Structure 1
Amino acid sequence: MHSIKHPLNQRPHSSYRGRFAPSPSGLLHFGSLVAAVASFLQAKSNAGNWLVRIEDIDKPREMPGSDKAILNTLEAYGMHWDEPVLYQSEQAVLYRDVLNYLQASQQSYCCRCTRAQIKKSGGIYLGTCKFLHLDNFDTAIRLLNKFPHNEFIDGLQGQVHFDHALAQEDFIIHRRDGLFAYQLAVVVDDIYQGITEVVRGCDLLEPTSRQLSLFKTLNRQAPAYVHIPLAVTDEGYKLSKQNAAPAIDDQNPQPGLIQALDFLGQAPPPELQFESVDSIIVWAIKHWQLRNVPQKTEIHL
């Protein structure tokens, strides 16, 4: 196993590197603006680099042209990335190399179980195919989860605990339909880009357990994590592209920026609404305090 070449090098963590990673399945809405603003301000207040990654590995869910629209919106709101935008669709060779490495080092296996079968057995995959030595034809690939994470310390939420059975599950890293799984792609890209801290919404708290397991399996340092509250409607629905959340206004970004700062507990002064986008961003970087962000998982709008 030690003679197998590892496909991933990791940058020395000598400076802050953050990222915002939207999927091009629609236009940016207020919930995604909040995540972008929080990750941007956390990076800039730490004199770090802020990267943008387009998570376009699930082609059937994409909205044509939304990637360019997302980038235009970020620029309209005064958030400029420090390195070329990374598209996950351009990372397929690296993902495949990592899959091959995990297979060659006997840290993954093929699985033919369906969602219906797993649901019938209680909703947690029980390792049914672990010792069947199936080939890659019409199967998913699962990580042999030797390093389950039942808890971690979040930079805002504090100690986070996970369901023990779910944390131990051998989860999918390559889908049966041939697509790379989100868990694999996000971990590989965070290593590849040298991300030191991930700031994102609380809807991704649970997947953090699996991502930490994969970082450990790959013997690479995981970033720190900060999970900010989700913006939800009065009915309790998360603002998301799937729920047809309205797109934010590129032509008049100041009100949206001020609202995002309010949502994040930064208390922008009333007169700031009359300033330029760049002036609002300068103020926000100077006054950013992560500790002022509400320690909640959801906030009703």
Structure 2
Amino acid sequence: MRTRFAPSPTGPLHLGHAFSALIAHDLAQQAGGTFLLRIEDIDRSRARPQWEAQICDDLHWLGLTWPEPVMRQSDRLPAYHAALQRLWDMGLLYPCHCTRRDIAEAASAPQEGAAPVAGPDGLVYPGTCRPDTPPRGAMPEGVTLRLDMARALAQTRRLAFVECGAGPKGETGLIALPPEDLLHKVGDVVLSRPAMATSYHLSVVIDDAAQEITEVIRGQDLFEATAIHVLLQALLDLPTPLYRHHRLIRDAHGKRLAKRDDARALSLYRAQGITPAGIRELVGL
């Protein structure tokens, strides 16, 4: 078994991060496997070295260990570019010049006849920039690149994954991914943004394969995104790991924790004298 915890160094770790990291670490330890840390720092505008240092310090304090060196996504841009080039050569990508406002206005236009559909990547793209035929020539640089979902689905077989935990509605076991759901509830997702030269969906798939992750442990808020990841794995001939989605740690009002919830940052609990065992108790482990 090979598991991983992949935080972004854009803020402090909170109780929800600790819960996910502890589960991934404990499962690997119990199976005699390997737990890996990966720093997802593709958002260079928000990533900070001090946050990465704090992340490592908090995880060590919790008692977690991992092999060095740690993988950083900022070192992996050539691998992401190679994957994009492969998808471009397959005729599955196209440049998009729409802003978020453009997409919102097009998706809610009266002629659409229905309310906008929100998917795991935001509003389902209405196809404004989608060409009738695949673009030819060199893959453009410095632009947003979207996956042509219809063409991608035409090149894949039946898609499915094994859920070892449970989705938000209790989904577990073998989860089939109907093409029509990917087409209408996910749509043409972004695989590369100008400021990053990649996207979360693409980089996480490439890196999980590179690190030979056998079981992905993460929160239920990412359950719907798994369809995108399984599709990309199929298109790029990459293995599909097992997935274990877990419950989310929420505040007193039932809202899931985010990095802006500094009141639940691990560093503050540490300053208050709470022990790693106390953190485990707080998150229900």
TM range (shorter): 0.7 to 0.9
Q: Quote how far apart the aligned CAs of 1:221 are.
A: 1.0
Q: Is the 8 A contact 2:124 2:185 kept in 1?
A: no
- What SS does the corresponding residue of 1:142 show, helix, strand or coil? strand
Q: Is the 8 A contact 2:3 2:36 kept in 1?
A: yes
**Is the alpha carbon distance of 1:196 and 1:261 closer, same or farther for their aligned partners in structure 2, counting shifts above 3 Å?**
farther
Count, aligned residues: 250
Q: Are 1:66 and 2:51 matched, yes or no? A: yes
Q: Are 1:141 and 2:150 matched, yes or no? A: no
Q: Quote how far apart the aligned CAs of 1:233 are.
A: 1.0
Q: Quote how far apart the aligned CAs of 1:107 are.
A: 2.4
Q: Quote how far apart the aligned CAs of 1:117 are.
A: 2.4
Name the residue aligned to 1:128.
128
Name the residue aligned to 2:164.
155
Amino acid in the other structure paired with 2:229 = Q
Tell me the percent identity: 31
Q: Are 1:263 and 2:263 matched, yes or no? A: no
Q: Quote how far apart the aligned CAs of 1:257 are.
A: 3.3
**Is the alpha carbon distance of 1:87 and 1:242 closer, same or farther for their aligned partners in structure 2, counting shifts above 3 Å?**
same
RMSD, aligned CA = 2.7
Q: Is the 8 A contact 1:112 1:138 kept in 2?
A: no
**Is the alpha carbon distance of 1:172 and 1:40 closer, same or farther for their aligned partners in structure 2, counting shifts above 3 Å?**
same
Q: Quote how far apart the aligned CAs of 1:62 are.
A: 2.1
- Name the stretch that deviates more: 132-141 or 46-55: 132-141
**Which residue, out of 235, 239, 245, partners 1:221?**
239
Amino acid in the other structure paired with 1:227 = H
Q: Distance in 2 between matches of 1:245 and 1:232?
A: 12
Q: Return 5+ residue gaps in structure 1 as ranges.
A: 1-15, 267-301
Name the residue aligned to 1:193.
211
Q: Which residues of 2 match residues 275-290 of structure 1 at below 5 A?
A: none
Name the residue aligned to 1:285.
none
**Is the alpha carbon distance of 1:24 and 1:131 closer, same or farther for their aligned partners in structure 2, counting shifts above 3 Å?**
same
Q: Distance in 2 between matches of 1:137 and 1:94?
A: 15
- What SS does the corresponding residue of 1:206 show, helix, strand or coil? coil
Q: Return 5+ residue gaps in structure 2 as ranges.
A: 108-115, 117-122
- What SS does the corresponding residue of 2:225 show, helix, strand or coil? helix
Q: Distance in 1 between matches of 2:250 and 2:145?
A: 34
Name the residue aligned to 1:208.
226
1:136-156 CA-partner distances (Å, limit 9, x unpaired): 366311123324888744211
Q: Quote how far apart the aligned CAs of 1:118 are.
A: 2.1
Q: Are 1:52 and 2:37 matched, yes or no? A: yes
Q: State the TM-score, normalizing by the size of structure 1.
A: 0.74
Q: Is the 8 A contact 1:30 1:247 kept in 2?
A: yes
Q: State the TM-score, normalizing by the size of structure 2.
A: 0.78
Q: Distance in 1 between matches of 2:256 and 2:186?
A: 28
